[in-house]
Chains A and B, each alone.
Chain A
């Protein structure tokens, strides 16, 4: 019986399913509308529908031949963007309840007097200050006042909060007070979601740790209820494989860990797209890539230089500091479903409000009245004016046109100009996002290939490339489900770390050895839990070090084998080399301090491999399935445009714009002045005509 690896990417608008047959490498894709009121329903429906088609022999248990289930979700990030977390309470050390608001005392913008900070997630009335105090050396200055703690717990319960964050000073050095506070909270209010600093982010710097714990509490019940709904639905389909969820660093964790630590999954969805883009780009011969993942509600962009996307351990997510490992991805709240409107100043604006899957754009005829970006594309006929999703979704162009006509009246413009104007505004917003990750970080976008995916990416990519003066766009074979595919292209990964301030000297050999042994044991337990066979287990050890007195560390790999004086010498040399490379000097004679010991555990799994196909002739006419007038701004009019079926395009085929390429999960626009070719991996490569 075939064993299937299943990847599910659940976005705000669509849920994408990717099915990979472990035995013969066959890849099938499936796409269903998301169900934002309960995303688990759409996921279960999609998995069921997909599995029934590829494995009809499973009968009543369609998912029984699923050997691996990987899942990327935007549940946490959407709840944060829309400020739809739960009512959250906070318990802090007495004297410091305002720290959550004060932060690092920085204003939100250096020059803009109009700028505001994002809303504080816990209002002052729900921030309880409890007498207790630990010092930096782990000594107790003031014992926890348990009566006051119990009083705070009762008050928060009375206030009706759903989640409670506990974060005391130095909780990461001496967690007793936090642990006791959590116990008391659980006694008084067991129904609440409770988390604390030493569990979620056991690291130095109280404000960033506090912010992370508060985010975790704010999002915890949202993620927990999501997973509690999804798990039985998958079980009901007969699935026995352990489900996994992608973390923001591109690796995966089990569902139970994700429910307890939603902050690690803030970038779950988009990180899988980056993993997939890396594989596709390298195979296609373009390791320098800017990803452009445009979905229905949001768009993610990332930069890969030499196939590598930078990892950050601390980031600012929608204005909130967060300590968790994550890929350097920039998100904007705009996508194909973003609603266009005329603002009070009479200017055309698009987003950040989105029509979502329900009611969807006006053309879906589900009751929407305000036009979305998708409606503009339907009116311009860059999107099929009668149906989407390969015929599964009928659309009403007349309704879209009428909705845009209302905007056009307000603007005093024609309907077509207004529709095109919507796309121009969207393109400019997207270009701004790409500048953040490229030019603002010293990279020239013109040196990169734009990889377009997500349901709406290929539709807008050529215009965006033009805006940024980029010459090449790569549209992967299955752009609409690339994120889901990424779930099947990644090894299992888990990171284990321990903060131990030790001098880099032989006196530390024993504690270093012990710490790595403990980390190794945790990694082995994880391998066992994931049922990874001995030959597929891979361990990498690194040590973060600095000169005693500095605040930022440099990471140096530790050679394999037991930790000896020789390995310490390796570390010392590695540190000096890294310091010289980064800063141009070494401080001879200064003490080097070990800060964090890390193990990266990888479970090498059988991954989906992308097949290559023999190159055929350049003639693409066999893939033409029709012709329709498409409105192009270059012509200011409809231009008769050939429609290509992506399924029928063969490696080696070439054609020139204007052209439209349709496929189940997306539509690619090849504007006048660009040419398209198909590579052996069935990627579509658009280039500015010579």
Chain B
């Protein structure tokens, strides 16, 4: 095994494969540990229980050294922020203890405003050697509209929240006044600070142990290594151009939007070219970094899931789309619900690659990130409360086995909030939480089932829902059937206007996430598997008779 020499002024230190491997594992354990600190010190349910946050290390020029295994879409914000900071703030003026805060999609490298990033340069002997960066999805900026980004919350370009370890209280006050739940925001920002502190200390300790030049050289070697693995994986895919098209539909927009991709594999490189309509006055537009993060995630999953999640794996990939389209939007498009579109794009890529490597992909997953965002005002204290949750759904059937039921797929990966936490923190009661019978696409292997969550409001509140696959369905592969629709069910008295619901105390509503597509012709399904499906109630007997000839 050979390693490319790092681009340093000093002679490259001798690197053996074990040292590189050990440093690589140490980098991933640093980002995991910073993530753990962030989750443990945080206050909001979205971070402390749902783990809607990510951590990463970057090299001095802004390349991802390592991203923790949290939420793939957060890479979109990460790859944007360090270059933006470097553009706006000369490094000569930076000092140890400077911490930058940012969230903006157009001036800060973010993908939507609730994802607030804290980035801190790591100094050794007076020089910046790396960055520790973390992102927390602050469940705030709710109920403001999504016609354009100015409605979606406070836009924060990368500015110093701390200067040389001292809080820049003016900036913090400005941010907090624009938040609906300022106390929670302050506490979560503190947790983000705690996480960066761990990142700085651990990285400095790693450098003290192995030598800074060795760590930096190993970092470069790891990028090269990820690139080599990615190239080897792409080279194993037959050369050619693969097209796939689907539609996007959800509760926020009227009708359906056509989306398509053309993937071209040439040797050890891959180009992904997307086509989509013009950006909309709705929150479903994706920034280009969100598109890149989505593509990197899917291609890695198909090519080789064990490749290190660093910037090296992106080198063989070219991701293009028309600027100003839904999948590569420009100022001032709203972006809050970009993950809805990202999920559909992820399945688009799988659909195209299915033509080249059918055994390495899945049928279409639920292709959505089903969301319910609640906002209300406490009867007793008058305080505003905001609660956001995202639901899993079916994951696509594999060529040799069924899909998974009720899981988060693709670029999202958050936990559910324990019911016992949900009801303790908010005036809500969860009435049911269950798999949706019959929602998995039929086939030799069936698609995963969607989820249904039924809520009762115990105080008056408003809810915004992101539900998808209302008109379209998640496709099957090789003769497999499509998954079930997503939806919203409203109890008596609930007022619904497109994606907005108004509930009085005691009223209920339900959110349903879509099922996933099946793989292979239903006639090929094992009879014992059909018997089990019936016993488990995932399919009813008449349907089993009709589809499987049971």
- A contacts, CB < 8 Å to B: 95-99, 101-102, 104-114, 116-117, 123-125, 135-136, 141, 169-170, 204-207, 435, 439-442, 444, 446, 469, 547, 549-552, 582-585, 587
Contact = CB atoms under 8 A, between A and B. Distances in A.
B415 A106 contact: yes
A544 to B, nearest CB: 13
Given A204-B420, A550-B40, A584-B198, 14 more contacts: A95-B432, A102-B405, A102-B406, A106-B413, A106-B415, A109-B305, A113-B361, A117-B404, A124-B537, A439-B22, A440-B29, A444-B209, A550-B48, A583-B41
B429 interface: yes
Contact of B433 (A99, A114, A135, A547): A99
A406 B459 CA distance: 73
B236 interface: no
Given A111-B301, A444-B22, A550 B42 contact: yes
Given A95-B434, A549-B187, A584 B72 contact: no
A136 B430 CA distance: 12
A442 B305 contact: no
Contacts of A95: 430-434, 454
A552 B43 CA distance: 10
Residue in B300, B361, B409, B432 with the greatest tally of chain A CB atoms within 10 Å: B432
Contact of A549 (B18, B37, B43, B72): B43
Contact of A136 (B30, B197, B407, B420): B420
A98 B406 contact: yes
Contacts of B198: 584
B194 interface: yes
B25 A440 contact: yes
Interface in B119-159: none
A205 B72 CA distance: 26
Interface string B403-435: 011111100011110111101100001111111
Interface of B: 18, 21-22, 25-26, 28-30, 33, 37, 39-43, 48-49, 69, 72, 184, 187, 190-191, 193-194, 197-198, 202, 209, 297, 300-302, 305-306, 360-362, 391-392, 395, 398, 401, 404-409, 413-416, 418-421, 423-424, 429-435, 451, 454, 535-538
A98 B190 CA distance: 37
B30 A550 contact: no
Given A98-B433, A440-B28, A583-B197, A111 B297 contact: yes
Contacts of A104: 415-416
Contacts of A587: 187, 190
Nearest to A109: B305
Query: Across chains A and B, which 10 residue pairs bring their CB atoms closest together, nearest first?
Result: A95-B432, A439-B25, A583-B194, A111-B305, A105-B392, A549-B43, A112-B305, A442-B29, A584-B197, A551-B48
14 contacts: A95-B430, A101-B405, A101-B406, A111-B301, A112-B301, A113-B360, A116-B404, A125-B536, A552-B41, A582-B37, A582-B41, A583-B190, A584-B193, A587-B187
A439 B184 CA distance: 35
A71 to B, nearest CB: 35
Contact of A442 (B26, B40, B197, B408): B26
Given A98-B435, A141-B429, A550-B40, A205 B408 contact: no
Contacts of A98: 406, 433-435
Residue in A110, A205, A552 with the greatest tally of chain B CB atoms within 10 Å: A110
B26 A102 contact: no
B31 to A, nearest CB: 11
A441 B22 CA distance: 11
Nearest to A105: B392
Contacts of B72: 110
Contacts of A99: 433
Nearest to A97: B434
A141 B429 CA distance: 10
Contacts of B360: 113
Nearest to B71: A110
Contacts of B42: 550-551
A205 B305 contact: no
A107 B413 contact: yes
A441 B30 CA distance: 8
Contacts of B430: 95
Nearest to A102: B406
A136 B424 contact: yes
A113 B415 contact: no
B187 A114 contact: no
Contacts of A205: 418, 420-421
Contact of B419 (A97, A106, A169, A550): A169
Contact of A469 (B18, B202, B407, B434): B18
Contacts of B190: 583, 585, 587
A104 B417 CA distance: 8
A598 to B, nearest CB: 19
A18 to B, nearest CB: 37
A554 B93 CA distance: 38
B194 A585 contact: yes
Residue in A101, A106, A113, A442 with the greatest tally of chain B CB atoms within 10 Å: A113
A114 B306 CA distance: 12
B305 A550 contact: no
A462 to B, nearest CB: 17
A117 B401 CA distance: 12
Contacts of B409: 107
B416 A102 contact: yes
B194 A584 contact: yes
Contacts of A117: 404
A669 to B, nearest CB: 22
A552 B40 contact: yes
Contacts of B48: 550-552
A338 B550 CA distance: 41
Given A110-B72, A169-B419, A105 B25 contact: no
A112 B415 CA distance: 18
A587 B26 CA distance: 30
B255 to A, nearest CB: 30
Contacts of B41: 550, 552, 582-583
A114 B22 contact: no
Contacts of B454: 95
B26 A107 contact: no
B297 to A, nearest CB: 7
Contacts of A469: 18
Nearest to B300: A111
Contacts of A105: 391-392, 406-408, 414-416, 451
Nearest to B396: A113
Nearest to A436: B25
B302 A113 contact: yes
Residue in B39, B48, B431, B434 with the greatest tally of chain A CB atoms within 10 Å: B434
B168 to A, nearest CB: 16
A206 B22 contact: no
A204 B305 contact: no
B433 A207 contact: no
A181 B223 CA distance: 57
A108 B306 CA distance: 14
B357 to A, nearest CB: 11
A170 B301 CA distance: 39
A169 B420 contact: yes
A411 B535 CA distance: 44
A435 B25 contact: yes
Given A102-B416, A551-B49, A113 B305 contact: yes
A437 to B, nearest CB: 11
Contact of B408 (A107, A123, A435, A549): A107
B406 A206 contact: no
B194 A106 contact: no
Nearest to A135: B423
Given A105-B416, A116-B401, A583-B37, A441 B29 contact: yes
B408 A125 contact: no
Contacts of B26: 439, 442, 444
B202 A204 contact: no
A621 B48 CA distance: 63
B435 to A, nearest CB: 5
